[in-house]
Amino acid sequence: MEFSSKLLEEAVNEMSQLPGIGRRTALRLVLHLLKQPESQTVALSKALLDFKTDVKFCKNCHNISDTDLCEICANKSRQSEVVCVVEDIRDVMAIENTSQYRGLYHVLGGKINPMEGVGPSQLNIKSLIEKVKLGKIEEIIFALSSTLEGDTTNFYIYKQLEGLEVKTSTIARGIAVGDELEYADEVTLGRSITNRIPFEKSLKSQ
């Protein structure tokens, strides 16, 4: 792509640094901003900069938060003895949307991924172990995605917890509610049979 303007080229270059945004899409987005009032571009630039420079993290669970302690951790009515380990804020939002969970979270900020140079020390793992050592946590729920990296991270944390008095569990994998068995992948279907639950229990969770 050859541009007739350095300013345009620069804007497209920066925009196409974002994941999933190719150069054509970047050009379309930049030309869209050109047609809109200047206030929109100013607001976008300011919001991104403000977020990046002023973002804070909850000192307890490491979730993104505008206050020292996030709303969930500060909520006295939640069960502080149950902690759900997740990768990032999107997982917190997804679980909160279910309204089925009353415990707290611990946001790792990623998964162990040697290929991308992410080791345990880059993640918020140490602070999780410290919290457990204080003895006030009864259960750790692993809710990382079931990929090689997710499983590795789960196992690493599990090993670190050895000798500490805490229950560990992992979220159930199985056929999605409403899904047809025939379209499920074998691994998921296999797991959902191995980890079957008593029928009476399934009635309760409806």
Chain contacts with a copy of itself (rule: CB under 8 A): 1-8, 10-11, 13-15, 17-21, 25, 27-35, 38, 40-56, 58, 63-66, 70-72, 88-90, 92-93, 96-97, 110
Burial of 92 (0-12, 13-18, 19+ CB in 10 A): buried
Q: Measured in whole angstroms, how far is the alpha carbon of residue 165 from the centre of its chain?
A: 26
In the complex, the smallest distance separating the C-beta of residue 179 from a copy of itself, rounded to whole angstroms, is: 21
Backbone phi, psi, residue 167, to 5°: -85, 140
Strand boundaries in the chain, DSSP class E: 56-57, 64-65, 79-86, 103-107, 139-142, 167-170
In the complex, the smallest distance separating the C-beta of residue 106 from a copy of itself, rounded to whole angstroms, is: 14
Structure tokens at 157: 């944390």
In the complex, the smallest distance separating the C-beta of residue 44 from a copy of itself, rounded to whole angstroms, is: 4
In the complex, the smallest distance separating the C-beta of residue 30 from a copy of itself, rounded to whole angstroms, is: 6
Q: Which is nearer to a copy of itself, 105 or 161 (CB)?
A: 105
Helix/strand/coil for 154:
helix
Q: Which is nearer to a copy of itself, 93 or 197 (CB)?
A: 93
Q: Which is nearer to a copy of itself, 58 or 161 (CB)?
A: 58
